[in-house]
């Protein structure tokens, strides 16, 4: 088994334990903040590298993490996790654990996240209709992130990590292109 696989298995164990204990403490806002934190770690790879350097003291690493979490208003929620990880010298797993926590939380709370893209601005009423539509289709609670996407030409696209609903001119053009094998 590769090193990456080992990391994944280990991270999942920590995430499961955390979610089992603190699921009720995770609010909608903290869920959003965990996502932002994930993005932060994805764009600041050096932070993870810093956490994996063995000759930096665990207190220093914990302090750094707590400061970052403070910025995302997550220090209270994640403090116990940081403590355990620091004790077991596995702070460098934090970014993978956060991803797993979010996925497990979504699974347990029956939540599905969708990207809603439209060629033109959609008002809040229409967004509610879309939310209802998705809830009916999936049977899950929907959290959506709305953006405009001119490349659709005209139309709408609803996309999660496993589902897609698209009705746009762009898609119809693509279908025509495939039909004519261009």
Partner 1 sequence: MEIKNTDLVSLFEQSLKDVPQEKLEEIGIVVKVGDNICQVHGLTNAEYNELIEFEGGNKGIIFNLDEESVDVFLLDNNISVAELEIAKRTGSVLKTPVGKNFLGRVINALGKPIDALGEIIPDSYEPIEAAVPSIIERSPVNQSLETGILAIDALIPIGKGQRELIIGNRSTGKSAIAIDTILHQKNQNVICIYVSIGLRQANLAKTVKLLEENGALNYTVIISADSGEAVLNQYLAPYVGCTIGEYFMHQGKDVLIIYDDLSNHAIAFREMSLLLRRAPGREAYPGDVFYLHSRLLERAGKLLNGGSLTALPIIQTQSDDISAYIPTNLISITDGQIILDTQLFNQGIRPAINVELSVSRVGGAAQTKAIKKVTKALRLELAQYHELLDFSQFGTELDESSQKQLKRGSFAVEILKQPQFRTYSFVDQCLILFALKENYLDNLQLKNVQSFIVQFTSYVKSVYPNIYKKIYETQDISDDTMHNLKEIANEFKRIFVPEDQI
Please report, as ranges, the residues that interact with partner 1 according to CB under 8 A.
Answer: 120, 137-138, 154-156, 158-159, 161-167, 169, 178
Tell me how far, at minimum, the Cβ of 158 lies from partner 1, in Å.
Answer: 8
- Cβ proximity to partner 1, 85 vs 100, nearer residue: 100
DSSP string, 15-38: HHHHHHHHGGG--HHHHHHHHHHH
Rounded to an integer, what distance in angstroms lies between the CA atom of residue 164 and that of residue 157? 7
Give the residue with the Cβ less far from partner 1, 22 or 165: 165
Cβ nearer to partner 1, comparing 32 with 166: 166
Contact assessment for residue 120 and residue 154, using Cβ atoms and an 8 Å cutoff? yes
Shortest CB 51 distance to partner 1, Å = 24
CA angle 50–42–96, rounded 5-degree value: 80
Residue with Cβ nearer partner 1 (64 or 104): 104
User: In whole angstroms, what is the distance from residue 11 CA to residue 61 CA?
Assistant: 18
Q: Which is nearer to partner 1, 54 or 182 (CB)?
A: 182
Helix (H) or strand (E) holding 114: strand 111-118
Rounded Cα gap, residues 138 and 53, in angstroms = 44
Q: How far is the CB of 154 from partner 1 (least distance, A)?
A: 4
Q: Which sign does the torsion angle of CA 171, 151, 42, 95 carry? A: negative
Q: How far is the CB of 109 from partner 1 (least distance, A)?
A: 18
User: Within 13 Å and on the Cβ side, how many CA atoms surround 101?
Assistant: 30
CB of 74 to partner 1, least distance (A): 25
Please name every residue paired with 116 in a beta bridge, in sequence order, or none if there are none: 146, 158
CB of 20 to partner 1, least distance (A): 19
Nearer of residues 67 and 135 to partner 1, judged by Cβ: 135
């Amino acid at each position: 088994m590769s090193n990456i696989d080992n990391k994944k298995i280990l991270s999942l164990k920590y995430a499961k334990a955390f979610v089992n204990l603190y699921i009720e403490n995770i609010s909608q806002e903290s869920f959003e903040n965990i996502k932002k934190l994930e993005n932060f770690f994805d764009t600041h790879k050096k932070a993870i590298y810093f956490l994996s350097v063995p000759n930096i003291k665990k207190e220093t690493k914990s302090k750094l993490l707590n400061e970052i979490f403070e910025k995302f208003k997550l220090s209270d929620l994640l403090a116990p996790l940081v403590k355990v990880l620091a004790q077991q010298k596995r702070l460098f797993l934090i970014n993978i654990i956060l991803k797993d926590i979010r996925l497990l939380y979504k699974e347990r709370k029956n939540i599905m996240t969708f990207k809603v893209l439209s060629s033109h601005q959609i008002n809040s009423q229409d967004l509610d209709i879309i939310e209802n539509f998705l809830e009916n289709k999936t049977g899950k609670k929907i959290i959506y992130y709305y953006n405009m996407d001119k490349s659709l030409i005209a139309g709408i696209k609803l996309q999660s990590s496993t589902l897609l609903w698209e009705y746009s001119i762009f898609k119809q053009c693509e279908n025509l292109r495939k039909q004519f094998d261009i």
